[in-house]
């Protein structure tokens, strides 16, 4: 290990420690406020940004949905809020332990852990909702508190990382050593990104195509890092995409099925979802959706299947979204509605198994430069 | 005319009821047993009520042969501590149909005699056993009768009659009848239970055929005041009633026989010697003021006939034709019909015509109806377009119909007299309900008397909630003139009113443990059907019921609010006690403190105030 990289590793480790310190400090402050309220004979309360639909607005500058100014008061005196108040306090308490001890947990794990504390979550949906509350109060994503979703997407390509999780601190890894790809879990999300030879990130909606791309050595052919979003990209994957873009200065392109859901998968990576309007740092505003477009269906004469009624309804819903009011987003929606048909990524196999990698992808990569 | 009347008489009342026993509630062994119980128990209660005696009613039903399957003969005995029935009346009261003293207009449970006699009749035809009546009116001697009813002749047949020394007054009636207790049992037990609820001043015991004993002891020591008999109210009459009342008010021309002539002679103070026509007339003139109406009529007739007693004895008055001013009579002497002119100028003319034509309208109204004084009567006459002095006997059928209609329409009659009603009273009802249900909440109300179609009525109600009430949902006990109404609940006006109420508005949501007792007293309960189990929805009654329920429901709502607040405070305190310590525990670690904050202060403050 060279001296230079050792130094860098130390710097990275320090950065992670500082982040941990900030989080712990913030939690402590929240706790102290509640403590003081109780000690002075008052029912503790705090305010939380309202997550109601009327308070979710689109910020053109940030190019994502954000929460407006309205806040709600949560008081432990209000018996209808008392339970959720206690649940949130418990979650902060539990997140504090996780962060402090550098342990990871999942949404499901949180739900089960609560049972040891008589916190009465009725189901996981309720505990998930309290986790969103914690994010809203602290304006921090749950991953900062070491809470991760169950679902995993994966990554493959020439990228060196260095772990920060306990027991692996300083350990390095190159993400092109295993052809099945690497699952994007807590350790990868919190790892430091050291260096890469890649020049682009290709996010792809489906595991099948991800494997094909690895087999076809797309990483080498196009100097790329390939990421399987596994449908709608999980938060940790979006965070990783953002870091690859921001820290490694890599452009991000997105390949999805040729339908309205695919278009929206790309949009969420680019500008987030209304569900996560309380969080920043989850979007890659420069990411580019390169296909499969509705216009590609005609252009490449792709085999199609008819859109269902819910597909069509989804199109009309998205037309009301401010992000779909111009550019290719608007245009492609209109074409989908005109065609009333959709195509899968696999549709290209009509012209040969490697058609998508040999013909379509190069064209799209070229096109992406001009988008 | 006479021949039709005779044909009617060929069916005696007993036979009529025998043929129509279904109507009276004796259609099958199960129903008959229940009806018989009801009739006897109600007679016993009525007898005590009227004399202001606290009733002690003992009811017993025993199977003649307990091994036999139902339906089978039962011996039904009801014993009361009432005034008893005088020995000479017993055979007629229990051995004929339609004998009784309850035909006046006042509130009573049922018609005395009729129902009880029907039960006796039913027992006799199903088992051929006599009724046993034991009665003591003085508390020393008890008269014991065994009677059968001669259905064709409607006459009692006394099988046995003996005396016994006793120490208590009262009446015991025992019959043997075909019944079905396995089917009627629950109905009879319900009846006894509910009867004791509405007569809390009575003690009722029931020995059932299975050896079970039900005892409901006296709950209160006050008797409701007995009702008085009153005249009908103008609103409560129809043409037929008026026609019958007019017949009562008319004075018939007396039959002139030996006894009548003897009476006139005596009243005039005439010895046998002085009986010339002029002498009689002279004497009558002098004594006129002291003479009775009947005698005056005879004198008047004599004045026109110009006859003395001897001649008068040989004729029969046939017709008095007022419009033509003629009087015709049959002369037995020469067997011819003869006519004399009536001189309208004669001082006797008015006496005679008035008799035939009955009372004046104003006299009729003031004498025969309640709440009508001379002023109102004159006002009414004007309203109806009759002359106040118009004689009722001169009215045509059309005019009578107009009179009847006008009585309904005239709105200046005072409301009917409610002194003929005997409500239980708010306090006895409340005491009774409290002992019966032992509820957490209880309220009762007695509405002021009201009237529908001229029949006075009073609504009494009570609502009980919670406590020992174990039933879920609203349980309604309906009573009419202190009789429990057990069946046909669905179509009853009380149920209609209760169901129309939005109980959730009064904080009684879901299936509240709620009991409602409703008692309607009236001289005539407007039953929907002959079964007398459901009250029809007369607008006036519905209104009173509604006001009564709303009044009580508001009180219930206040109670429920208080209880709700206390419960909510308790619930809140429990929640705080559960969660605040947890919040304390979590924030202590979060804040990095060792000692937990003092959260006891807020728990103390939020402790609920104990409800009384």
CB contact under 8 A, B590 and A76: no
Helix (H) / strand (E) containing B366: helix B361-368
Instruction: List own/partner pairs for B571-575 with CB under 8 A and 24 or more apart.
Output: B571/A79, B572/A79, B572/B606, B572/B608, B573/B603, B573/B606, B573/B607, B573/B608, B575/A79, B575/A82, B575/A83
B577 close to A (CB below 8 A): no
For B460-503, what is each residue's pLDDT tens digit? 999 999 888 888 888 999 999 888 998 777 778 998 999 888 88
Q: Is A112 a catalytic residue?
A: yes
In angstroms, what separates the C-alpha of B593 from chain A's closest C-alpha? Answer: 9
In angstroms, what separates the C-alpha of A98 from chain B's closest C-alpha? Answer: 12
What average pLDDT does this structure show over B520-543? 84
CB contact under 8 A, A76 and B587: no
Q: Which residues in chain A touch residue B572, judged by CB atoms under 8 angstroms apart?
A: 79
B571 close to A (CB below 8 A): yes
Q: What is the CATH number of domain B426-559?
A: 3.30.230.10
The C-alpha atoms of residue B130 and residue B95 are separated, in whole angstroms, by: 10
Give the chain B residue whose CA is nearest to the CA of A100: B590
Residues 6 or more apart whose Cβ sits within 8 Å of residue A47? A71, A72, A73, A74
In angstroms, what separates the C-alpha of B602 from chain A's closest C-alpha? Answer: 6
Of A43, A93, A118, the CB nearest to B589: A93
The C-alpha atoms of residue A168 and residue A58 are separated, in whole angstroms, by: 40
Tell me the ipTM for this assembly: 0.77
Q: Report whether B546 contacts B499 (CB < 8 A).
A: no
How much is the pLDDT for B2? 36
Q: DSSP secondary structure string, A206-233?
A: -HHHHHHHHHTTHHHHTTEEEEE--SSP
CB contact under 8 A, A30 and B598: no
Of B575, B584, B605, the CB nearest to A38: B584
Backbone angles phi and psi of A75, in degrees to 5? -120, 140
Number of CB atoms found within 10 A of residue A235's CB: 18
How much is the pLDDT for B358? 76
How much is the pLDDT for A90? 94
B251 close to A (CB below 8 A): no
Q: Which residues in chain B touch residue A36, judged by CB atoms under 8 angstroms apart?
A: 597
For B213-238, what is each residue's pLDDT tens digit? 999 999 888 888 777 777 778 887 77
B576 close to A (CB below 8 A): yes
CB contact under 8 A, A38 and B587: yes
Burial class (CB in 10 A: 0-12, 13-18, 19+), A11: exposed
Q: Which of B587, B596, B602, B603 to mutate to test the interface with A (most CBs of A within 10 A)?
A: B587
Residues 6 or more apart whose Cβ sits within 8 Å of residue B589? A31, A93, A96
Please tell me whether residue B63 adopts helix, strand or coil conformation. Answer: strand
**B336-341 β-sheet, strand order:** B315-321, B326-331, B336-341
Q: Report whether B502 contacts B455 (CB < 8 A).
A: no
A-B CB pairs within 8 A amount to 82
How much is the pLDDT for B56? 96
Q: Domain B13-216 is of which CATH architecture?
A: 2-Layer Sandwich (3.30)
Residue A360 gets which letter from DSSP?
I
CB contact under 8 A, B582 and A89: yes
Domains in chain A, CATH or no CATH each: 3-148 (1.10.10.10), 197-370 (3.40.1360.10)
Q: Report whether B181 contacts B74 (CB < 8 A).
A: yes
Please tell me whether residue B462 adopts helix, strand or coil conformation. Answer: strand
B69 close to A (CB below 8 A): no
The bridge status of strand A252-255 relative to strand A200-204 is parallel
CATH 3.10.20.90 corresponds to the domain B234-248+358-409: no
Query: Angle of helix B493-500 relative to helix B539-590, nearest 10 degrees?
Result: 30
In angstroms, what separates the C-alpha of A27 from chain B's closest C-alpha? Answer: 7
In angstroms, what separates the C-alpha of B500 from chain A's closest C-alpha? Answer: 34
Q: Does pLDDT of B330 surpass 60? A: yes
Q: Does pLDDT of B106 surpass 70? A: no
What average pLDDT does this structure show over B142-157? 86
Backbone angles phi and psi of A58, in degrees to 5? -90, 125
How much is the pLDDT for A315? 92
pLDDT band at B9 (very low <50, low <70, confident <90, very high): very low
pLDDT band at B273 (very low <50, low <70, confident <90, very high): low
What average pLDDT does this structure show over B449-467? 89
Give the chain B residue whose CA is nearest to the CA of A35: B587
Q: Does pLDDT of B251 surpass 80? A: no
Tell me which of B19 and B235 has the higher pLDDT.
B235
Tell me which of B20 and A124 has the higher pLDDT.
A124
B599 close to A (CB below 8 A): yes
Sites in chain A below the pLDDT cut of 50: 1-2
pLDDT band at B8 (very low <50, low <70, confident <90, very high): very low
B490 close to A (CB below 8 A): no
How much is the pLDDT for B297? 85
Of B572, B579, B591, the CB nearest to A35: B591
The C-alpha atoms of residue B522 and residue B520 are separated, in whole angstroms, by: 7
How much is the pLDDT for B80? 94
Q: Which residues in chain A touch residue B580, judged by CB atoms under 8 angstroms apart?
A: 38, 76
Residues 6 or more apart whose Cβ sits within 8 Å of residue B348? B299, B300, B303, B304
Residue B255 gets which letter from DSSP?
P
Q: Does pLDDT of B137 surpass 50? A: yes
The C-alpha atoms of residue A16 and residue A191 are separated, in whole angstroms, by: 9
pLDDT band at B99 (very low <50, low <70, confident <90, very high): very low
Helix (H) / strand (E) containing A20: helix A3-39
Of B579, B587, B601, the CB nearest to A35: B587
For B62-96, what is each residue's pLDDT tens digit? 999 999 998 999 999 999 999 888 888 888 777 77
C-alpha count within 13 angstroms, C-beta hemisphere, residue B297? 20
CB contact under 8 A, A86 and B583: yes
For B434-444, what is each residue's pLDDT tens digit? 988 999 999 99
Choose the weakest-confidence range: A248-262, B185-199, B389-403, B546-560.
B389-403
CB contact under 8 A, B576 and A82: yes
Residue linked to tokens 């002369």: B331
Give the chain A residue whose CA is nearest to the CA of B582: A86
CB contact under 8 A, A35 and B588: yes
CB contact under 8 A, B583 and A118: no
For B275-321, what is each residue's pLDDT tens digit? 788 888 888 888 888 888 788 888 888 888 888 888 888 888 887 77
**The Cα angle at residue B482 between residues B476 and B485, in degrees rounded to 5:** 45
Q: What is chain B's mean pLDDT, rounded? A: 84
Q: Report whether A332 contacts A254 (CB < 8 A).
A: no
CB contact under 8 A, B602 and A43: yes
CB contact under 8 A, A34 and B591: yes
In angstroms, what separates the C-alpha of B595 from chain A's closest C-alpha? Answer: 10
Q: Report whether B517 contacts B433 (CB < 8 A).
A: yes
Q: DSSP secondary structure string, B527-570?
A: BSSTT--SB---HHHHHHHHHHHHHHHHHHHHHHHHHHHHHHHH
pLDDT band at B6 (very low <50, low <70, confident <90, very high): very low
Q: Which residues of A touch B (CB under 8 A)?
A: 27-28, 30-32, 34-36, 38-39, 41-44, 76, 79, 82-83, 85-86, 89-90, 92-93, 96, 117-119
Number of CB atoms found within 10 A of residue A14's CB: 10
Q: Is the peptide bond before B480 cis (omega within 30 degrees of 0)?
A: no
pLDDT band at B197 (very low <50, low <70, confident <90, very high): very high
In angstroms, what separates the C-alpha of B612 from chain A's closest C-alpha? Answer: 25
Q: Report whether B234 contacts B369 (CB < 8 A).
A: yes
Q: Which two tokens stand for residue A231?
A: 């449908």
Give the chain A residue whose CA is nearest to the CA of B587: A31
Please state, for a pLDDT cut of 90, what percent of chain B lies above it. Answer: 31
C-alpha count within 13 angstroms, C-beta hemisphere, residue B8? 5
CB contact under 8 A, B582 and A119: yes
How much is the pLDDT for B105? 46
Q: Which residues in chain A touch residue B601, judged by CB atoms under 8 angstroms apart?
A: 41
CB contact under 8 A, B579 and A27: no
Of A39, A82, A85, the CB nearest to B598: A39
CB contact under 8 A, B590 and A35: yes
Q: Give me the residue spans of the domains in chain B.
A: 13-216, 234-248+358-409, 251-357, 426-559, 561-605
CB contact under 8 A, B586 and A82: no
How much is the pLDDT for B104? 41
Q: Which residues in chain A touch residue B584, judged by CB atoms under 8 angstroms apart?
A: 38
How much is the pLDDT for A10? 63
Q: Which two tokens stand for residue B374?
A: 């001379």
In angstroms, what separates the C-alpha of B578 from chain A's closest C-alpha? Answer: 9
How much is the pLDDT for B298? 86
Give the chain B residue whose CA is nearest to the CA of A86: B583
CB contact under 8 A, A38 and B602: yes
Q: Does pLDDT of B337 surpass 60? A: yes
Of A27, A85, A119, the CB nearest to B590: A27
In angstroms, what separates the C-alpha of A89 from chain B's closest C-alpha? Answer: 6
CB contact under 8 A, B592 and A31: yes
Give the Å distances, CA to CA, from B564 to A80, A307, B549, B577.
17, 55, 21, 20
pLDDT band at B247 (very low <50, low <70, confident <90, very high): low
Residue linked to tokens 């490449």: A300
Q: Which of A111, A112, A163, A360 is catalytic?
A: A112
């Amino acid at each position: 290990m060279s001296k230079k990289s050792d130094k860098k590793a130390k710097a990275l480790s320090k950065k992670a420690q500082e982040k941990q310190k900030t989080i712990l400090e913030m939690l402590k402050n929240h706790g102290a406020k509640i403590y003081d309220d109780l000690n002075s004979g008052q029912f503790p309360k705090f305010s939380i940004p309202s997550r109601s639909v009327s308070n979710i607005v689109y910020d053109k500058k940030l190019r994502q949905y954000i929460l407006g100014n309205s806040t709600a008061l949560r008081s432990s005196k209000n018996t209808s809020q008392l339970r959720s108040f206690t649940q949130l306090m418990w979650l902060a308490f539990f997140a504090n332990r996780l962060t402090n001890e550098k342990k990871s947990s999942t949404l499901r794990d949180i739900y089960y852990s609560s049972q040891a504390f008589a916190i009465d979550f009725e189901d996981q949906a309720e505990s998930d909702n309290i986790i969103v509350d914690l994010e809203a109060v602290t304006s921090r994503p749950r991953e900062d508190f070491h809470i991760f979703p169950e679902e995993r997407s994966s990554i493959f390509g020439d990228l060196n990382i260095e772990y920060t999780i306990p027991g692996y601190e300083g350990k390095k890894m190159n993400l092109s050593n295993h052809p099945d790809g690497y699952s994007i879990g807590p350790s990868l999300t919190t790892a430091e990104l050291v260096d890469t030879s890649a020049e682009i990130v290709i996010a792809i909606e489906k595991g099948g195509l991800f494997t094909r791309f690895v087999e076809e050595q797309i990483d080498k052919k196009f100097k790329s890092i390939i990421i399987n979003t596994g449908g709608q990209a999980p938060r940790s994957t979006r965070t990783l995409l953002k870091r690859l873009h921001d820290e490694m200065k890599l452009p991000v392109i997105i390949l999805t099925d040729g339908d309205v859901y695919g278009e929206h998968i790309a949009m969420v990576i680019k500008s987030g979802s209304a569900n996560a309007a309380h969080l920043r740092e989850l979007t890659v505003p420069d990411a580019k959706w390169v296909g499969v477009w509705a216009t590609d269906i005609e252009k490449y004469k792709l085999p199609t299947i008819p859109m269902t009624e819910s597909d069509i309804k989804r199109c009309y819903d998205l037309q009301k979204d401010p992000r779909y009011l111009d550019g290719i987003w608007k245009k492609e929606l209109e074409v989908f509605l005109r065609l009333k048909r959709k195509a899968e990524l696999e549709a290209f196999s009509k012209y040969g198994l490697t058609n998508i990698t040999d013909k379509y992808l190069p064209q799209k990569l070229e096109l992406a430069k001009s988008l | 005319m006479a021949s039709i009347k005779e044909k009617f008489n060929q069916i005696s009342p007993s036979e009529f009821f025998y043929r129509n026993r279904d109507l009276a509630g004796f259609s099958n062994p199960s129903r008959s047993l229940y009806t018989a119980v009801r009739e006897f128990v109600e007679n016993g209660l009525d007898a005590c009520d009227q004399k202001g005696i606290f009733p002690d009613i003992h009811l017993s039903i025993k199977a003649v042969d307990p091994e036999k399957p139902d339906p089978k003969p039962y011996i039904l005995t009801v014993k009361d501590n009432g005034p008893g029935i005088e020995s000479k009346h017993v055979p007629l009261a229990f051995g004929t149909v339609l004998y009784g003293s309850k035909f006046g207009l006042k509130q009573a449970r049922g018609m005395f005699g009729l129902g009880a006699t029907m039960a006796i009749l039913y027992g006799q035809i199903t088992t051929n056993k006599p009724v046993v009546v034991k009665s003591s009116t003085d508390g020393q001697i008890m008269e014991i009768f065994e009677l059968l009813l001669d259905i064709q002749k409607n006459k009692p047949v006394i099988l046995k009659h003996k005396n016994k020394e006793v120490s208590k007054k009262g009446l015991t009636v025992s019959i043997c009848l075909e019944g079905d207790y396995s089917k009627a049992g629950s109905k009879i037990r319900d009846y006894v239970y509910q009867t004791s609820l509405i007569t809390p001043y009575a003690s009722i015991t029931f020995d059932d055929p299975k050896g079970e004993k039900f005892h409901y002891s006296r709950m209160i020591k006050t008797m409701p005041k007995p009702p008085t008999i009153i005249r009908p109210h103008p609103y409560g009459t129809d043409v037929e009633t008026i026609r019958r009342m007019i017949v009562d008010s008319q004075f018939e021309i007396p039959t002139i026989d030996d006894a009548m002539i003897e009476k006139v002679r005596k009243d005039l103070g005439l010895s046998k010697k002085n009986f010339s026509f002029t002498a009689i007339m002279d004497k009558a003139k002098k004594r006129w003021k002291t003479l009775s109406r009947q005698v005056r009529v005879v004198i008047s007739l004599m004045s026109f006939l110009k006859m003395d007693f001897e001649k008068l004895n040989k004729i029969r008055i046939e017709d008095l034709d007022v419009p033509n001013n003629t009087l015709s009579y049959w002369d037995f002497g020469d067997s011819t019909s003869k006519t004399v002119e009536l001189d309208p100028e004669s001082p006797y003319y008015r006496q005679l015509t008035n008799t035939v034509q009955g009372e004046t309208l104003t006299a009729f109204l003031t004498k025969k109806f309640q709440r009508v004084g001379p002023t109102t009567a004159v006002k009414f006459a004007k309203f109806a377009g009759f002359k106040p002095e118009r004689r009722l006997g001169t009215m045509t059928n059309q005019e009578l119909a107009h009179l009847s209609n006008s009585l309904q329409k005239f709105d200046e009659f005072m409301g009917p007299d409610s002194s003929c009603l005997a409500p239980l009273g708010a306090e006895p009802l409340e005491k009774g309900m409290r002992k019966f249900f032992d509820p957490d909440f209880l309220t009762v109300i007695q509405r002021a008397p009201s009237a529908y179609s001229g029949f006075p009525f009073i609504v009494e109600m009570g609502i009980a909630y919670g406590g020992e009430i174990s039933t879920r949902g609203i349980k309604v006990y309906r009573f009419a003139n202190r009789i429990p109404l057990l069946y046909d609940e669905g179509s009853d006006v009380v149920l209609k009113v209760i169901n129309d109420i939005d109980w959730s508005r009064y904080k009684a949501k879901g299936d509240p443990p709620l009991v409602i007792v409703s008692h309607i007293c009236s001289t005539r309960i407007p039953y929907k059907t002959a079964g007398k189990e459901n009250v029809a929805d007369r607008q006036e009654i519905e209104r009173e019921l509604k006001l009564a329920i709303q009044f009580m429901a508001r009180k219930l709502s206040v109670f429920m609010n208080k209880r709700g607040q206390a419960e909510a405070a308790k619930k809140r305190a429990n929640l705080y006690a559960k969660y605040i310590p947890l919040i304390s525990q979590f924030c202590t670690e979060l804040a990095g403190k060792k000692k937990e904050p003092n959260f006891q202060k807020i728990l103390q403050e939020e402790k609920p105030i104990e409800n009384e």
